[in-house]
Copies of this chain bind each other. A is one copy, B any other.
Amino acid sequence: MKDMDIVEVSRRTGVPASTLRYYEEKGLIASIGRRGLRRLFDPAILERLAMIALGRAGGFALDEISAMLTPDGLPKMDQRRLDAKANELDNTIRRLTAIREALRHAARCPAARPMECPTFRRAVRLAGAGRFEVAPIGPFKAEVVSVTGRKRKSGDVSPE
Interface residues of A (CB under 8 A from B): 1, 11-15, 43-44, 46-47, 49-51, 53-54, 56-62, 74-75, 79, 82-83, 85-86, 88-93, 95-97, 99-100, 102-104, 106-108, 112-115, 123-124, 127-135, 137-138, 140-153, 155-159
How far apart sit A82 and B142, CA to CA, in the bound complex (Å)? 13
How far apart sit A155 and B158, CA to CA, in the bound complex (Å)? 17
Q: Is the CB of B146 within 8 A of A50?
A: no
- CB within 8 A of A57: which of B53, B79, B95? B95
Q: List 18 A-B contacts (CB under 8 A).
A: A12-B147, A47-B132, A47-B142, A47-B144, A50-B115, A50-B129, A53-B127, A54-B124, A54-B129, A56-B134, A57-B99, A57-B135, A58-B142, A74-B113, A79-B108, A89-B103, A129-B148, A150-B151
Q: Is the CB of B103 within 8 A of A58?
A: yes
Q: How many copies does the complex hold?
A: 2
- CB within 8 A of A142: which of B49, B91, B134? B91
With A133-B14, A134-B53 as given contacts, are A127 and B58 in contact (CB-CB < 8 Å)? Answer: yes
Q: Is the CB of B107 within 8 A of A97?
A: no
Q: Which residues of B contact A104 (CB under 8 A)?
A: 82-83, 86
Q: Is the CB of A143 within 8 A of B82?
A: no
How far apart sit A130 and B47, CA to CA, in the bound complex (Å)? 9
